[in-house]
A and B are shown apart, each in its own frame.
Chain A
Amino acid sequence: MDKSKITFGLSYIETGSPLHRLSGFTKLVLFLWWITLILTTFDLRVLTGFFIVGIVLLSLAQIPFKVYRPFVFFMVYIVTLNTLFIYLFAPLQGPEFIGSHTELFIFTKRYVVTLETLVYLAVIAVKFLAIFPMALLFVFSTHPTEFAASLNKIKVPYPIAYAVSLTLRYLPEITKDFVNILHAQQARGVDISRNVSLRKRIRNIASILFPLILSSLEKADVITNAMTLRGFGKGHSRTWYNARPMAIGDWVVLAAMAVWTVPHFIIRASIDGLFWYPF
């Protein structure tokens, strides 16, 4: 069986790069700040800037490109498809938002390509693409338990932060159970591939999920008992073994974010309308 179909693509990879040495808190704040700023701007210059900085940061993490190459291709494919759909649904959305109309060429009466359309489609595509390197960077460089610790540090209640940590802890375990059940059922002739009819396929999926859910619920009971016995949830706060203290590098990154925030919104306010359009 194709292994890529039953495993999760990404995980934490220790390379000892400067980005790995940053505290998880800094990286989480950076990630959230990154998404917020990208979602609030429609300026192609700013978005391209974010995209390039994102790629530079990702390369600083020293993760070998071949680890995430398939995901890059997949992302490019999805974004291309998405952009194509936007164009097919509303070919004149760009001129409408920007307020001018510069025709470049015409496919049919409905499908006209204007310069505004290209700018508009580029903005949306780059918006998606600019978030992507930061998501990869975050997963590659933040240890799962440190992720939970940093969630707690940004004031997410610790039971929820702990639930995230437990999810990451049990994801491989439950994937393993799933593969075992899948193989056992396949040995009994349960097929979930495209070789059987859709009806049968859905029924077979249910017959694999049912034992998986039941065994997971039993596991949940065991974990609940273990955690209760150890007094989980009795205190108002908790400490984290993997929390990393803030170092100079962290303050530098946080300061850089603060410094860029001001011009970001000044640029945002200085253009008429939402989209930056020079022509």
Chain B
Amino acid sequence: MNKFSVKIVVLTAIGAALYGVGGLPIFGIPIFAETTLKPAMAILAIFAGLYGPVVGFLVGIIGHLITDLFAGWGVWLTWVLGSGIVGIVIGLLPKLTSNRLEKGEFPGKDIALFILLALVGNIGGFSISALLDFLLYKEPAGKVIAQAAIAGSTNTILIAIIGTAILVMIAKRKKASTGLSEE
């Protein structure tokens, strides 16, 4: 059982709920016919970046599925999987930076790595979504590739801006609460 500690269960749930809130229509910034910019993905990136691949994957899958179901815009399973993969890839951040963020440090090279992981995760995740749309719905390859490219690039930009900004603030806060020394 101890594969899933209580902490992971709770962080997943809170992250998924926040992902849902981040997908509310009030945030929607329309940028292209079928695509709106929503900060849900940035929240996924923040949770994955802070707590690793397991939380990242679960927040992506559960958050996306629950949001789709309860917001009433149908179930797009292939895209749910894409979000999960984005979560796994960005979740590599703590391991690759030996948990520096947890100690309140988020230097430039870690930020670059964070954005790079977001890019790789989005390309990987949404290529798989596009492939599944192509296989399961027989949608034309050109259309699904264009869709994945638009979703992937806007998500990456969004994560790079909002995700980074909030992680920097969180790092600053963590630093403030760990920098105490005994007198």
Contacts and interface: CB of A to CB of B under 8 A. Distances in A.
B138 A274 contact: yes
Contacts of B142: 89-90
Q: Specify the main secondary structure of chain B where it touches its partner.
A: helix
A90 B39 contact: no
B181 interface: no
Contact of A166 (B9, B27, B73): B9
Interface string A75-106: 10010011001100110010001000000000
B180 interface: no
A107 interface: no
A61 to B, nearest CB: 15
Contact of A209 (B7, B138, B166): B166
Interface in A189-218: 192, 194, 198, 201-203, 205-206, 209-210, 212-214, 216-217
Q: Specify the main secondary structure of chain A where it touches its partner.
A: helix
Nearest to B4: A159
Contacts of B137: 39, 124, 127-128
B14 A219 contact: yes
Contacts of A9: 70-72
Contact of B63 (A135, A165, A167, A192): A167
Contact of B24 (A6, A139, A165): A6
B140 A86 contact: yes
Contacts of B112: none
Nearest to B27: A205
A174 B17 contact: yes
Contacts of A39: 136-137
A42 B173 contact: no
B143 A86 contact: yes
A157 B73 CA distance: 27
Contacts of A159: 1, 4, 8-9
Interface stretch (A17-25, A48-56, A232-240, A263-271): A232-240
A89 B42 contact: no
A6 B20 contact: no
B18 interface: yes
Given A35-B77, A210-B165, 15 more contacts: A68-B72, A75-B73, A81-B33, A89-B142, A120-B138, A165-B13, A171-B20, A174-B17, A175-B20, A212-B21, A214-B173, A219-B14, A220-B7, A224-B7, A228-B6
21 contacts: A70-B72, A81-B33, A89-B146, A93-B140, A135-B74, A157-B3, A168-B66, A168-B70, A174-B17, A174-B21, A175-B24, A178-B21, A192-B27, A198-B29, A206-B161, A209-B22, A209-B42, A213-B166, A233-B1, A233-B2, A274-B138
